[in-house]
Structure 1
Amino acid sequence: MTGRRVAFFDVDETLLNTKTMLAFWSYWRHHHAAHGPAVTSGGLTPAQLLTLPREEANRRFWQLFRGVRTEDLMEAGRRWYEEYRRGDGAVIVSALAELRRHQRRGDMVVLVSGSMRACLEPFAAELGADLLLCTEQEQSASGVLTGDVTQSMIGPAKARAVRSVMAGLGAQQRDCFAYGDHASDLPMLQSVGRPVLVGRDPVLRAAAARAGQWRVLPSVAGSLEALREDVAA
């Protein structure tokens, strides 16, 4: 596998047209109201977490699942995704079309996200992604979540993961791609030779303008099924 080109994709609002953790939390509370607290240990609801820096919000979010069995969360994630994927605006069409083009060229596709495996694994499986790098929740020996994480995948952590994958594959930085929509994706985008901005984040727009060579894709939402039909045609 040495020398392969790699395309790294953020997920939330880059490929999927949602913030997966918040969307899943709404689903979880509706279907599993008896499980876990409604607020973090600091008394914050998921909506209030959005007022915090992304890294801090992400860290506190996992407290909401303290005491939940991992297998229950994974099953709920599969059910949530099966429901979500049927929506008319489930995906960002331009980025997902790029992912399919990379696959047709034989490039390795890696999803890199601060979200949880329960939400992302069904999506990665449907796409046929080669690798999923995400935040990993800590669990006890009996398979119960502690509310902490063993690995975060936010901001600089994404860049470190991307560089590690490229080094392990012998992939050249100049030949690799990264796609992101948010300022927290900037370290990842700067780790490859071919960064692509999805949407209109002002921090990333400024970085793209300074570099003068970044591609910019529109963040128009569409149907997963409609995109599949377009590709087949």
Structure 2
Amino acid sequence: MFDFYDYFLAAVGHSPEEQEERRQDARALLRPGLPREQGNRLFYRRFAGYRADRVEAIGQAWFDGHMERGGLFHKDVLDALREHRAEGLGVVLVSGSFPACLDPVAAHVGAEEVMCTRPEIRDGVYTGEVLTTMIGAAKADTAKAVLAGRGADAAECFAYGDHVSDLPLLELVGNPVAVGAHPEVTAVAERHGWRRLPGIPG
């Protein structure tokens, strides 16, 4: 999200000084003590007043630029998703990000559904409010609903997560995969013998 936001600031014409100020202000939402759900809602206020179709077009351009440069995806996770699809399993993205970023990603990885944060749009314009925040327990609750709708057994499903807020989702399934080196996630993974994948350097 922050990578997209940096791209967005330049795309809508902010000066380098304005971009840096807004970047720092956005990253301050990760400060300790601020609930991740609250930070998620505050982040999307930054898009208030922008037309949704314009933000979506910027999202596609952001994605295309990354693909041209050969970056963006975590290779081990992408390979795993491709293996799941080859085995006939469905792929569902569950993310605190929003459709402007996730729709191009979903198309690339062949995801069947995208369950994500949904900013409010009125008359084609972002209001700055959020209808649905997909952080923490909301991810697991949504996954349960998806599984119920598909008649799937959670014990046979896989989930990938790299942050402590992903733990409820990881704990829901029979095949959780911890990605990266978040200390709390790593500790839980080691305690339960979960599969682990390395994170992306830097």
SS state at 2:69 partner: coil
What's the CA shift for 1:128? 1.3
What's the CA shift for 1:209? 2.1
Tell me which of 89, 93, 104 is aligned to 1:107: 89
Query: CA–CA distance in 1 between the matches of 2:71 and 2:110?
Result: 21
1:45-73, Cα deviation, whole Å (9 max, x unpaired): 11211214322211100110111111111
- Counterpart of 2:41 in structure 1 is 59
1:113-134, Cα deviation, whole Å (9 max, x unpaired): 0001101101111111111111
Aligned-partner residue type, residue 58 of structure 1: N
What's the CA shift for 1:192? 0.8
Task: Say whether the 8 Å CA contact 1:173–1:193 is kept in structure 2.
Answer: yes
Task: Say whether the 8 Å CA contact 1:94–1:219 is kept in structure 2.
Answer: no
Tell me which of 144, 152, 159 is aligned to 1:178: 159
Aligned-partner residue type, residue 89 of structure 2: D
Task: Say whether the 8 Å CA contact 1:178–1:195 is kept in structure 2.
Answer: yes
| Matched ranges for 1:48-197 at <5 A | 48-51=28-31, 52-140=34-122, 142-197=123-178
TM-score (norm. length: structure 1): 0.78
Query: CA–CA distance in 2 between the matches of 1:181 and 1:138?
Result: 27
- Counterpart of 1:201 in structure 2 is 182
Aligned-partner residue type, residue 211 of structure 1: H
Please list every run of at least 4 consecutive aligned residues from structure 1 whose deviation after the TM superposition is greater than 3 angstroms. none
Aligned-partner residue type, residue 193 of structure 1: G
Residue correspondences, number? 192
SS state at 1:178 partner: strand
1:79-106, Cα deviation, whole Å (9 max, x unpaired): 1111122334422111111000000000
Task: Say whether the 8 Å CA contact 1:93–1:219 is kept in structure 2.
Answer: no
SS state at 2:100 partner: helix
Task: Say whether the 8 Å CA contact 1:94–1:220 is kept in structure 2.
Answer: no
Query: CA–CA distance in 2 between the matches of 1:220 and 1:49?
Result: 22
Aligned-partner residue type, residue 118 of structure 2: E
- Counterpart of 1:27 in structure 2 is 7
Structure 1 portions without partners, runs of 5+? 1-20, 222-233
Query: CA–CA distance in 2 between the matches of 1:49 and 1:199?
Result: 21
Task: Say whether the 8 Å CA contact 2:120–2:126 is kept in structure 1.
Answer: yes
- Counterpart of 1:8 in structure 2 is none
Aligned-partner residue type, residue 179 of structure 1: Y
TM-score (norm. length: structure 2): 0.89
Task: Say whether the 8 Å CA contact 1:137–1:151 is kept in structure 2.
Answer: yes
- Counterpart of 1:230 in structure 2 is none
Aligned-partner residue type, residue 168 of structure 2: P
Q: Alignment identity in percent?
A: 44
| Matched ranges for 1:212-223 at <5 A | 212=193, 214-220=194-200
What's the CA shift for 1:220? 4.1
